[in-house]
Amino acid sequence: MPTSARPRPPQQVSNLLLHRFAKPLVFGLALLPFGWLLLAAGSNQLGANPAEALIRATGDWTLRFLCGVLAVTPLRVITASPALARFRRMLGLFVYFYAVLHLLSYSWFDMGFDVTDIAGDITKRPFILVGFTAFVLLTALALTSFNRAIRALGAKRWQALHQLVYGIAGLAVLHFFWMRAGKNNFTEVFVYAAILATLLGWRLARFIRKNRR
């Protein structure tokens, strides 16, 4: 369908997305899970095992924000709302923020910040290795998410590097799957896997359509 024939979002929606307070609002909403975790930890509301609760919650929010980042482009195209793209970088950095919290929670509460034990755990347990690999790749994306990095790398190389987000999504789901395998509880794993498969499938279908044209 030609661009001119695509349905446009209501002007009010476009105005809201482009409003100068839109980004601060999204930023504040993205910090709410962190604020809730701080409040719950400070008031002893994380259950019988607060360390495990923090590790799992930060991992869950990393996955949720990853789904959100990958949903930006499909929503932008389907709703013909180009202004949605202005939130993608911020959401991507929040993926990294919650991933850092997840790694810190594991390193502190499970391993006591013992580097030797952490290194040994990475080599001995596959799901830790997969999660750490995803974190390293996320670090590369976070460090190159700024305009200066885009100019330094060049647009094509930058875009190729940031295609790693799809591999990161797969590693994140695999990490979650192996973590839940010990308890034989895969319900949430399948939910995240289905969401990510749908988002990646949409991109694949769009890529195939473009190549046919």
20 DSSP assignment: T
Q: Is 7 exposed, middle or buried (0-12, 13-18, 19+ CB in 10 A)?
A: exposed
Instruction: Give pLDDT, residue 6.
Output: 54
pTM for this structure? 0.92
User: For residue 3, what pLDDT is reported?
Assistant: 47
What is the predicted pLDDT for the residue at 15? 83
Cβ atoms < 10 Å from Cβ of 68: 19
Yes or no: say if 161 and 141 are a contact pair by the CB < 8 Å rule: yes
Supply the pLDDT for residue 49.
Answer: 93
The two tokens of residue 115 are 């580097």
- The pLDDT profile of the chain, 213 residues, written as one tens digit per residue, is 444 455 566 678 788 888 999 999 999 999 999 999 999 999 999 999 999 999 999 999 999 999 999 999 999 999 889 999 999 999 999 999 999 999 999 999 999 999 999 999 999 999 999 999 999 999 999 999 999 999 999 999 999 999 999 999 999 999 999 998 877 889 999 999 999 999 999 999 998 988 887
- The per-residue pLDDT for 10 is 66
Report the chain's C-alpha Rg in angstroms: 19
Domain-wise residue ranges, the chain: 3-212
